[in-house]
Structure 1
Amino acid sequence: MSTDTLAQLTSDLTTAMKARDADRVSVLRQVIGAVRAEAKAGTVEKELTEEDVLKVLTREVKKRRDSAQIYTDAGAPERAELEAREADAIETYLPARLSQDELTALVQQVVTDLGASSIRDMGAVMKEATARAAGAADGKALSALVRAALQG
């Protein structure tokens, strides 16, 4: 189950432990645990690809961003800040996000390549656009752009 990102996470955990950085140790342990849980999900433990690991990290960032928003709405700014810091720390292991212009160009290219012409093609366009973005795009933003491209 050794991918580049997982190896980096493990190495950074050791470094953080030696530096006695409790916050970083905590978030890295949580993320490594989530990756290992993903590998063990199901009836047979599976070998995770780099893409699988990045999907887990993306999911962990999203969870923390959502939690931060909930804490903010509930009037608990300290907890919201902690969740946001954890999300930021995990995000450093993900590929750089595509800009809005790059996302728009990617969606237009996929629509053209697939010959998509109506909202009925949204599933196929989303599947291809998500694959091409390879974790470098937010699903909601991508979905909004695909919908706009197919309706416009």
Structure 2
Amino acid sequence: MSLSLLERIQSDIKDSLRSGQKERLSILRMVMAQIKNKAIEKGRDAQLTEDEIVDLLAGMLRKMEESVAQFTMGGREDLAEKERSEMVVIREFMPEPLSVEQIDGLIAEAIKETHATSAKEMGSVMKWLTPKTMGRADNRVVSQKVKALLGG
């Protein structure tokens, strides 16, 4: 039986604590705090699903990428590097990214399955695609590819 994403994060926190990896421990605790906050927002005694945790981690990574760009533009390479090292740890818990070929294949399948022929049907294509690409592909890139194929 494989560990759930939440169990993996909790296990890594314990391992980091035992091995004295302070930076890693700090990052993992930050991730757990985000997960707990999201669960609290969801409601009393709520638990996040694997997909919700992946979505949360993907959102954290997007924000960190924006921060890296801002820090780099501002000449603060030290802060940009700190964000990059945090991103490396968070990416360990993300599903394997899809290749360009896999994304293109899923898009072709989605268009076929939804019988989409124009940009008006882009919503139904994205609705079909999103669960299959969540945390594994940048939705903006997927959306742009779908739009281009549907003539939007």
Query: TM-score higher than 0.5 here?
Result: yes
- What secondary structure is seen at the aligned counterpart in 1 of 2:150? helix
Q: Which amino acid aligns with 1:81?
A: E
Matched, 1:5 2:21: no
- How far, CA to CA, are the matches of 1:139 and 1:37 in structure 2? 24
Q: Describe how 1:1-152 pairs up with structure 2 within 5 A.
A: 4-151=4-151
- How far, CA to CA, are the matches of 1:66 and 1:84 in structure 2? 11
- What secondary structure is seen at the aligned counterpart in 2 of 1:35? helix
Give the drift of 1:135: 2.3
The alignment yields a C-alpha RMSD, in angstroms, of 1.5
Task: Answer with 39-48 or 111-120: which moved more.
Answer: 39-48
Give the drift of 1:4: 0.6
- What secondary structure is seen at the aligned counterpart in 2 of 1:95? coil
Q: Which amino acid aligns with 1:83?
A: E
- How far, CA to CA, are the matches of 2:49 and 2:106 in structure 1? 24
Q: Which amino acid aligns with 1:32?
A: M
- How far, CA to CA, are the matches of 1:37 and 1:149 in structure 2? 39
Q: Which amino acid aligns with 1:76?
A: R
Q: Which amino acid aligns with 1:110?
A: A
Paired residues, number? 150
Q: Tell me the TM-score normalized by structure 1.
A: 0.92
Identity of aligned residues (%): 28
- How far, CA to CA, are the matches of 1:90 and 1:122 in structure 2? 31
Q: Tell me the TM-score normalized by structure 2.
A: 0.92
- How far, CA to CA, are the matches of 1:123 and 1:46 in structure 2? 29
Give the drift of 1:44: 3.3
